[in-house]
Structure 1
Amino acid sequence: MTLKILWFIPTHGDSRYLGTSRGGRHADFSYFKQVAVAADTLGYEGVLLPTGRSCEDPWTVASSLIDATRRLKFLVALRPGLVQPVQQARVAATFDRLSGGRLLVNLVTGGDADELEGDGLFLNHADRYQLSTEFLTIWREVLARSHHGEPLDFAGEQLKVRGAKVIYPPVQAPYPPLFFGGSSPEAHELAAQQLDTYLTWGEPPAAVAAKLADIRERAARYGRTLNFGIRLHVIVRETEEAAWAAAGELIQHLDPATVAAAQKKFAAMDSVGQRRMAALHGGQYDPGNIRKGLEVAPNLWAGVGLVRGGAGTALVGNPEQVAARIREYADLGLQYFILSGYPHLEEAYRFAELVFPLLPLGVREKLVQPESIAGQPQDRLPPSGGGTPQAFQGARYTGPFGEIVANTYLPKSAAAS
């Protein structure tokens, strides 16, 4: 299986340190564009844009980045109950057409009742999933029919349409791929029925395996199969010691009051996935030993979740360790890895440079350092097959790579040295 690696556009802010304004970065369009262009240039499959009241609107931001990128895909949120399904289907079709088929869609049912009520949605957990089921049924069908000009009639418990049409169909048929993450039984059932790719947050491999087994079993009842993915942070450095030191630096300015306030808020949510994230660490940590109680599996660290909602775990280690953990998840059947790191611009480069060469990636055209491909001259393209690590087949050189020495000498490649 070739892996697909996505990065993250930090539309709710970026920083060198969690839980404090120290090291905070001004996250505006210019910065989002820098991150997107970096991900596009490096060869990431796409980027996830988060959603919620703490974020800039993901559809607006993603649309603004279409022309700044060439092949980057955008994983953008659907929020049932906040918009109507046919209207949202038109938005998705337009985005897909204008981007040349670069839209991925992420269903987000929401897990914070206070936030949802602030946006005008007053439904409990079970009713939100019923709404999401009907929303997706309309959304999928109206887009599928748009390729043939057929109208749709649908009557559910919460949603109803008559003669619904999308005149301009999306590029991707029958509709842009649908992603979704949720840990409750209702979420698993919805994924089994209607979604294309199920995403889990970064739980230990055994817990992830159990979730995937349940979803596979449910999907089989409908004669369906799904793709799978995972959402993680990454802290990779050239040595294991440096990686754990960087993890410690990330939370070095946290204070107990901030952690307690964040955990209290997370506990009030009705998201099963959020409760599972919080249970990994219980809001407890030892500043003198950041691995104690937070390394919940080899190289899997729950320190991010002390103050960050949603994805709260990070892979921490040297490139070989991080690649090994990714392969361990891949062996469970995970193909999509949606990653992020603080700050997002620098870490996008760091991860690509250190870990991409170690993974079987379905990477599109990208810039690579010649030492990543042992024995290949700098002025030659790698062959289309054989003798080249799979991650770099079809790559394009623009070298020389590195700083020219004394105005004359090309920097030595690792392979040559």
Structure 2
Amino acid sequence: MRFHWSLSSVGDPMRRANAAATTSGLPDLSAHKEFACRAEECGIESLLVAFGFSRPDPITWAAALGAVTSTVKFLVAVRSGIMSPTYFVQQVNTLSALTDGRVCVNAVAGRAPEEQRFYGDHLPHDQRYERTDEFWTICHALWRDDGPVTFTGRYYQVEDALLRTPFVSRDRPEIYLGGSSDQAVALAVKHADCMFTLPDTPSRLASRIQPLLAGGTEVGLLVSLICRPTHDEAVAAAYRLIHVAGESATAVHESARRRTDSVGFGGMYDAAIRESHWPTPYLWTGAVPYLGAPSIALVGSPEEIVAALAQYAAIGVTQVLFMGYPDLEQMTFFGAEILPRVRLGVS
């Protein structure tokens, strides 16, 4: 398995308990630099730099973190409709030159129509995926560098496009796509190397990811980690998390649920409200009403987390994008207590 970590709440573990409109779009840069350097020590392959109105520009932020690191990659998020595909490829290729190729891309279609309109994007869910298909068709053509690129679509028109800024270290960056809808699956099979999806029980997830595996696309989990030396300590930490978030956080995410058109995020929130908070002995949805869909968590001791990862590996999951509570401590614990066991194949 390959392991990644999200920067989304680094330095501010209760960020998701608050409305995005009230949070700062400039995280603590020193905390992020420290985290990026520690990630290299912990064996983390890449760090997700998310996109949104309450966050810094991911490419610029990744460039700053790339200057103080040497091996970790940066998984920069992009939404189609925000910029031209030609300009985006030029940006990513430039970032690859600054970081010696340590760049991969997280393609997202957007999950909040209200926020999309901040950027002048008024398309509904399905049309955003249609546009994203056109976006990545042009990007891949530019990375292939097999001559001037001309494309005439519904959303993009490019004529004889050329770029003389190459991607450093390989032909193109690895492409990750996040989503759960049928449109996301089809798009991932066509354009992505790996699709990140929210976890479910291994038996239910196995059938859901089969079309991806059959199409030659890897599958990764987007999941939080709450791991402590013992099972009881981990469970106690999980319930302490929602106590700290407080009941006011549920109003934040009830409002967010009403505004999202994301199949995965909306479905996860609904399931967390309606079903058992423990779909399996190690998978916990109890924080979702307080901290949102990405807070679905693997909870347990190192041995239990290794066993859980093995069950997902058995159905074809090959990558994991973690968040942690708190991030720095959990990533450090992961690197010391979980990753060595995973590499040795022992629990």
Query: If the TM-score is normalised by the length of the shorter chain, which range does it land in?
Result: over 0.9
In the TM superposition, what is the alpha-carbon distance from 1:303 to its structure 2 partner?
2.4
Structure 1 residues 232 and 263: CA distance shift in structure 2, 3 A: same
- Residue 262 of structure 1, aligned match among 234, 237, 253: 253
Where do 5+ consecutive residues of structure 1 fail to align? 220-224, 285-292, 361-388, 392-417
Give, in whole Å, the separation in 1 of the partners of 2:59 and 2:289.
29
Correspondence 1:264-283 to 2 at 5 A: 264-282=255-273
Structure 1 residues 18 and 214: CA distance shift in structure 2, 3 A: same
Aligned to 1:299: 282
Aligned to 2:71: 71
Structure 2 SS opposite 1:82: coil
**Any idea what the Cα deviations from partners look like across 1:388-413, whole Å, max 9, x if unmatched?**
x489xxxxxxxxxxxxxxxxxxxxxx
In the TM superposition, what is the alpha-carbon distance from 1:310 to its structure 2 partner?
4.2
Aligned to 2:87: 87
Aligned to 1:112: 112
Give, in whole Å, the separation in 2 of the partners of 1:67 and 1:273.
35
Aligned to 1:395: none
Structure 2 SS opposite 1:107: strand
Correspondence 1:350-361 to 2 at 5 A: 350-360=333-343
Aligned to 1:10: 8
Correspondence 1:194-209 to 2 at 5 A: 194-209=191-206
In the TM superposition, what is the alpha-carbon distance from 1:131 to its structure 2 partner?
0.4
In the TM superposition, what is the alpha-carbon distance from 1:202 to its structure 2 partner?
2.1
**Any idea what the Cα deviations from partners look like across 1:213-255, whole Å, max 9, x if unmatched?**
13334x3xxxxx1122111110111110101111111111344
Give, in whole Å, the separation in 1 of the partners of 2:308 and 2:94.
38
**Any idea what the Cα deviations from partners look like across 1:37-85, whole Å, max 9, x if unmatched?**
1101222111112221222221121110112111001111121001110
- Residues 1:192 and 2:183 aligned together: no
Query: Counterpart amino acid of 2:242?
Result: I
Aligned to 1:127: 127
Give, in whole Å, the separation in 2 of the partners of 1:252 and 1:56.
29
Correspondence 1:211-222 to 2 at 5 A: 211-217=208-214, 219=215
The answer on whether the counterparts of 2:152 and 2:158 sit within 8 Å (CA) in structure 1 is yes
Q: Which structure features the higher share of helix residues?
A: 2
Query: Counterpart amino acid of 2:230?
Result: T
Query: Counterpart amino acid of 2:8?
Result: P
Structure 2 SS opposite 1:231: strand
Structure 1 residues 320 and 226: CA distance shift in structure 2, 3 A: same
Give, in whole Å, the separation in 2 of the partners of 1:116 and 1:309.
19
The answer on whether the counterparts of 1:259 and 1:283 sit within 8 Å (CA) in structure 2 is no
- Residues 1:229 and 2:220 aligned together: yes
Instruction: Say which is worse superposed, 202-211 or 37-46, in terms of deviation.
Output: 202-211
The answer on whether the counterparts of 1:10 and 1:27 sit within 8 Å (CA) in structure 2 is no
Ranked by relative contact order (alpha carbons within 8 Å, sequence separation 6 or more), the top structure is 2
Structure 1 residues 337 and 108: CA distance shift in structure 2, 3 A: same
- Residue 333 of structure 1, aligned match among 316, 324, 333: 316
The answer on whether the counterparts of 2:11 and 2:31 sit within 8 Å (CA) in structure 1 is no
The answer on whether the counterparts of 1:243 and 1:318 sit within 8 Å (CA) in structure 2 is yes
Structure 2 SS opposite 1:162: strand
The answer on whether the counterparts of 1:19 and 1:251 sit within 8 Å (CA) in structure 2 is no
- Residues 1:311 and 2:308 aligned together: no
Structure 1 residues 94 and 294: CA distance shift in structure 2, 3 A: same
Aligned to 2:329: 346
The answer on whether the counterparts of 1:136 and 1:194 sit within 8 Å (CA) in structure 2 is yes
Give, in whole Å, the separation in 1 of the partners of 2:331 and 2:141.
37
Give, in whole Å, the separation in 2 of the partners of 1:141 and 1:343.
41
Structure 1 SS opposite 2:295: coil
In the TM superposition, what is the alpha-carbon distance from 1:152 to its structure 2 partner?
0.7
Aligned to 1:43: 43
Structure 2 SS opposite 1:280: helix
Structure 1 residues 95 and 11: CA distance shift in structure 2, 3 A: farther
Aligned to 1:371: none
Report the count of equivalent residues. Answer: 342
Give, in whole Å, the separation in 1 of the partners of 2:15 and 2:55.
18
Where do 5+ consecutive residues of structure 2 fail to align? none
**Any idea what the Cα deviations from partners look like across 1:295-335, whole Å, max 9, x if unmatched?**
22221111232233341311100000011101111111111
Structure 1 residues 97 and 179: CA distance shift in structure 2, 3 A: same
Query: Counterpart amino acid of 2:328?
Result: L
Structure 2 SS opposite 1:120: coil
TM-score, normalised via structure 1 length: 0.77
Structure 1 residues 331 and 390: CA distance shift in structure 2, 3 A: closer
Query: Counterpart amino acid of 1:72?
Result: V
